[in-house]
A and B are shown apart, each in its own frame.
Chain A
Amino acid sequence: MSDFINNFWPMFITVIALGGIFGCALLLWWTSKIKVAAGSDNTSGHVWDEDIREMNNPLPRWWVWMFIITIIFALFYFAAYPGLGSYAGKLGWSEVSQYEKEVATANEALKPLYAKFAAMPVETLAKDKEAKAIGERIFMNNCAACHGSDARGSRGFPNLTDNDWIHGGSPEKIQETITGGRIGMMPPMAAAVGNEEDVKNVANYVLSLSGSNHDSARAALGKEKFAVCAACHGADGKGNQSIGALNLTDNIWLHGVGEAAIIKRIHEGKVNQMPAWGTKFTPEQIHVLTAYVWGMSHK
């Protein structure tokens, strides 16, 4: 890293840049005249390969002026813009400042649109075509990486189009989820449940809650052991949105279908995280995105 903050390199660049311009000026002056034999036949007197003679066909003088103007321009350019090592230039222009200016201009142009959206409740905004198109673009560029382009998720990433919500599906809750992110945490429960047989029984009881294929004898045995799970998932297994405990009675399996997948979860637990987007988007953008997400399950 020291190479990049060393004073030598800015100096090096400055010397090469200015030296190049100075060199051009020197070359221009140096090559503007030539010694020729007096009274010659419009040749420079230089002969190669016995009979190839160099003619003197002078360039128009305005051409030289173009060179001179270029050199003067280059000097002014280096004074005004960054180019000489670490010198920032009189105009203070930089790529970052230009980018920020353009973003500010774009935001300014979008302000009335977002102001209009901000004044609309999510339920109305979800029906607005323009807001939907903006929401779709935000979703495709940011959310689709995990939740899928069709928002139907995959293992570990919730489906947003069904009306099954882990942390609540009201507009306020969706907005809260997007802004602050969520961490869902299930601890490993096998020790609390009991031995391996008990775990298997509980898994079958969980399957029975949604009417999935299960061993009813085992499920009956597991019901009692389910008490430790009920602390979060509720006695009826319907989950608890305030702590993000999943509903076990619907037929939606975020972390895998079947007995084996459930046993694995009881053994290992699960930490699942949705990142917070509050720092990336403005509240107005999150409002539009909320409407888009809410709209997917309220067609």
Chain B
Amino acid sequence: MSVDPVGKKSETKIPLDEVVVSLYAAQQKIYPRSTSGVFTNWRWVMVWLTQLFFYGVPWLEWGQRQALLFDLEAKRFYIFNLVFYPQDLIYLTAILIISALSLFLFTAIAGRLWCGFTCPQTVYTEIFLWFESKIEGDRAARMKLDASPMSAKKLTKKTAKHLVWITFALWTGFTFVGYFTPIRELASLTLNMSLGPWETFWVLFYGFATYGNAGFLREQVCKYMCPYARFQSAMFDDDTLIVTYDEQRGEPRGGRSRKAELNSKQLGSCIDCSLCVQVCPTGIDIRKGLQYECIQCGACADVCDTVMDKMGYEPGLVKFSTQHGIANKWSRQQILGHIVRPRVLLYAAILASLVLGLLLSLWLRTPFRVDVVRDRGVMSRLSDDGMLENVYRLQIMNGTETTQHYQLRATGLEGLKLETEQDESDSENEEHNNTIIVKPTESRWLIVDLKIPDGSVDSGSHQIKFEIQSIESKETVTEKSIFLVPR
């Protein structure tokens, strides 16, 4: 599938000025050079923050349980003092929409901030690169090592690197599973070598994904797999902050002596040292302008500033700026002044109202739910003592992590009487007498008979309401149902 010179395949009848090329090519390995500077520092801050969160949070405890635990088997999500149930899926939807909108907002303001600083792909690649450069050396040393024939030294370095990578990846896989299976339990199971088949699979799978993505695939994930990388350009405009090369200032580029005065050779500020290309984790040349591969990590800006510093030039030949900013030679204040624009305001307004809505709805969320199911087999019946009865099943779901006592009432009809099983009081508290007891995070089916004196209301269907009050929280849930009276 490589490039075929025309002469060798004359039978394919291709005109002499055309060649057949493959649309696939072997991937060229990229050896990003290490950088230092303000954006590199920011990236490391984000690496530490995200990873302290990721590796640390599963170990936090809240009361008698893990503070953040997604118990898929029991269908309970524990998030600090809150417990979520499958019925709360709407909150997950809201969080996903909020995440997407945040991405829109950040992208409109400052381009691919997420990609360059917090995306797990970037963060883990950064960590894996750090291990790599500590073991194999920086860009030049790594290129030399890869080009050299196999030797004891090369084998040692490569083995050491992969061992460190695999260890780190396994720890990542272990932590990931620790969000779904209590991590302390998981740790002791791992130490006893008695991990279940699914836990083993997921630790290894997530570990393998980390190892493969951060160790090998790296920029290819961003270039060929990530959908966000492709559609983010829709959120860009001319006032979006992007990593730019100041072409007016830099060109014409060219090498020169360090002692040469700026402009002495009719050259621009770019000394064509190619360091910006060497540090690029996606292997592009920022001087060609905005490209879809650019993840806006700012490595080129950092390295260029050090070069400018050495040359005694102003920094900022490669910097975060906007299309307008570069074209109109705007100052920093002018660029920042253009952040507020309709697109940004719209994203911000939608985002703010969604966040507010979510918080409000979490605040108003009752810690228990009730479902009423009317018995359809028994439409209505006349009891031997002359009462007309309807039968219902109530499912009371206790969403809290403490035992709850509920009181049941039915309203809507004259003389409506409610009859159900009563639990024996489990405490000295008099308020707990004649209540329904539901254990923590459990639900309970309750059979409820409603009765009215026969003949006291017209025949037909009547709206009634069940009112269920929690003694502990004093909150009341009201559920509608109907009461049937036969002709």
Q: Is B324's beta carbon under 8 Å from chain A?
A: no
Provide the bound-state CA to CA distance between A36 and B17, in Å: 8
Provide the bound-state CA to CA distance between A153 and B391, in Å: 10
Give which listed residue, B1, B14, B449, contacts A150 with CB less than 8 A: B449
Q: Is B198's beta carbon under 8 Å from chain A?
A: no
| Binary per-residue interface labels of chain B (377-421) against chain A in the complex, 1 for a CB within 8 Å, 0 otherwise | 111111010000101110000000000000000000000000000
**B20, B378, B379, B392 interface centre (most CB from chain A within 10 Å):** B378
Segment with Cβ contacts to B, from A58-66, A94-102, A117-125, A227-235: A58-66
User: Chain A: which residue is nearest B445 at the CB level?
Assistant: A140
Instruction: Please indicate the chain A residues that have their CB under 8 angstroms from the CB of B19 in the complex.
Output: 35-38
Q: Is A105's beta carbon under 8 Å from chain B?
A: no
Instruction: Please indicate the chain B residues that have their CB under 8 angstroms from the CB of A63 in the complex.
Output: 24, 224
Provide the bound-state CA to CA distance between A152 and B384, in Å: 11
Q: Is B204's beta carbon under 8 Å from chain A?
A: no
Instruction: Please indicate the chain A residues that have their CB under 8 angstroms from the CB of B16 in the complex.
Output: 38
Q: Is B190's beta carbon under 8 Å from chain A?
A: no
Give which listed residue, A33, A153, A157, A251, contacts B23 with CB less than 8 A: A33
Q: Is B99's beta carbon under 8 Å from chain A?
A: no
Dominant secondary structure of chain A at its interface with chain B: mixed
Provide the bound-state CA to CA distance between A155 and B378, in Å: 8
Instruction: Please indicate the chain B residues that have their CB under 8 angstroms from the CB of A252 in the complex.
Output: 384
Give which listed residue, B23, B392, B449, contacts A34 with CB less than 8 A: B23
Q: Is A86's beta carbon under 8 Å from chain B?
A: no
Instruction: Please indicate the chain B residues that have their CB under 8 angstroms from the CB of A36 in the complex.
Output: 18-21
**A32, A64, A149 interface centre (most CB from chain B within 10 Å):** A149
With A38-B6, A61-B25, A144-B377 known as contacts, the answer to whether A149 contacts B391 (CB < 8 A) is yes
Give which listed residue, A32, A34, A37, A64, contacts B17 with CB less than 8 A: A37
**Contact (Cβ within 8 A) A60 B24:** yes
Q: Is A145's beta carbon under 8 Å from chain B?
A: yes
Q: How far is the CB of A131 from chain B (nearest CB, A)?
A: 17
| Binary per-residue interface labels of chain B (153-178) against chain A in the complex, 1 for a CB within 8 Å, 0 otherwise | 00000000000000000000000000
Query: What number of A residues sit within 8 Å (CB to CB) of B?
Result: 34
User: Chain B: which residue is nearest A156 at the CB level?
Assistant: B381
Provide the bound-state CA to CA distance between A152 and B391, in Å: 9
Q: How far is the CB of A105 from chain B (nearest CB, A)?
A: 16
**Contact (Cβ within 8 A) B1 A32:** yes
| Binary per-residue interface labels of chain A (22-54) against chain B in the complex, 1 for a CB within 8 Å, 0 otherwise | 000000000111111110000001000000000
Instruction: Please indicate the chain B residues that have their CB under 8 angstroms from the CB of A64 in the complex.
Output: 24
Instruction: Please indicate the chain B residues that have their CB under 8 angstroms from the CB of A154 in the complex.
Output: 377-381
| Binary per-residue interface labels of chain A (120-148) against chain B in the complex, 1 for a CB within 8 Å, 0 otherwise | 00000000000000000000100011111
**Contact (Cβ within 8 A) A148 B14:** no
Q: Is A56's beta carbon under 8 Å from chain B?
A: yes
User: Chain A: which residue is nearest B292 at the CB level?
Assistant: A57
Provide the bound-state CA to CA distance between A140 and B375, in Å: 11
Near A by CB (< 8 A), chain B positions 1-35 give 1, 6, 14, 16-27
With A36-B18, A38-B18, A153-B381 known as contacts, the answer to whether A148 contacts B391 (CB < 8 A) is yes
| Binary per-residue interface labels of chain A (57-96) against chain B in the complex, 1 for a CB within 8 Å, 0 otherwise | 0111111100000000000000000000000000000000
Instruction: Please indicate the chain B residues that have their CB under 8 angstroms from the CB of A59 in the complex.
Output: 23-25, 224
Provide the bound-state CA to CA distance between A60 and B26, in Å: 6
Instruction: Please indicate the chain A residues that have their CB under 8 angstroms from the CB of B6 in the complex.
Output: 38
Provide the bound-state CA to CA distance between A155 and B482, in Å: 20
Provide the bound-state CA to CA distance between A60 and B224, in Å: 9
Provide the bound-state CA to CA distance between A152 and B393, in Å: 14
Provide the bound-state CA to CA distance between A123 and B92, in Å: 49
Q: Is A257's beta carbon under 8 Å from chain B?
A: yes
Give which listed residue, B22, B26, B379, B392, contacts A33 with CB less than 8 A: B22
Instruction: Please indicate the chain A residues that have their CB under 8 angstroms from the CB of B20 in the complex.
Output: 33-36
**Contact (Cβ within 8 A) A58 B391:** no
Q: Is B220's beta carbon under 8 Å from chain A?
A: yes
Instruction: Please indicate the chain A residues that have their CB under 8 angstroms from the CB of B391 in the complex.
Output: 148-150, 152
Q: How far is the CB of A189 from chain B (nearest CB, A)?
A: 24
**Contact (Cβ within 8 A) B384 A61:** no
Q: Is B447's beta carbon under 8 Å from chain A?
A: yes
Q: How far is the CB of A200 from chain B (nearest CB, A)?
A: 22
**Contact (Cβ within 8 A) B447 A150:** yes
Q: How far is the CB of A211 from chain B (nearest CB, A)?
A: 12
**Contact (Cβ within 8 A) A34 B21:** yes
**Contact (Cβ within 8 A) B14 A35:** yes
Q: How far is the CB of B216 from chain A (nearest CB, A)?
A: 10
Q: How far is the CB of B116 from chain A (nearest CB, A)?
A: 21
Instruction: Please indicate the chain A residues that have their CB under 8 angstroms from the CB of B220 in the complex.
Output: 60
**Contact (Cβ within 8 A) B375 A149:** yes
Give which listed residue, A56, A146, A149, A251, contacts B447 with CB less than 8 A: A149
Instruction: Please indicate the chain A residues that have their CB under 8 angstroms from the CB of B26 in the complex.
Output: 60-61
With A58-B25, A60-B24, A148-B391 known as contacts, the answer to whether A153 contacts B17 (CB < 8 A) is no
Instruction: Please indicate the chain A residues that have their CB under 8 angstroms from the CB of B1 in the complex.
Output: 32-33, 61
Instruction: Please indicate the chain B residues that have their CB under 8 angstroms from the CB of A253 in the complex.
Output: 384
User: Chain A: which residue is nearest B1 at the CB level?
Assistant: A32
Provide the bound-state CA to CA distance between A257 and B486, in Å: 14
With A38-B6, A148-B391 known as contacts, the answer to whether A58 contacts B224 (CB < 8 A) is no
Provide the bound-state CA to CA distance between A154 and B21, in Å: 82
The 8 A-B pairs at the shortest CB distance, nearest first, are namely A58-B25, A154-B381, A60-B27, A148-B378, A154-B378, A150-B447, A145-B377, A61-B24
23 A-B pairs in the complex with CB atoms less than 8 angstroms apart: A33-B20, A33-B23, A34-B21, A35-B19, A36-B18, A36-B19, A36-B21, A37-B17, A37-B19, A38-B17, A45-B18, A58-B24, A60-B220, A63-B24, A63-B224, A144-B377, A148-B378, A149-B375, A149-B391, A152-B381, A152-B391, A152-B449, A154-B380
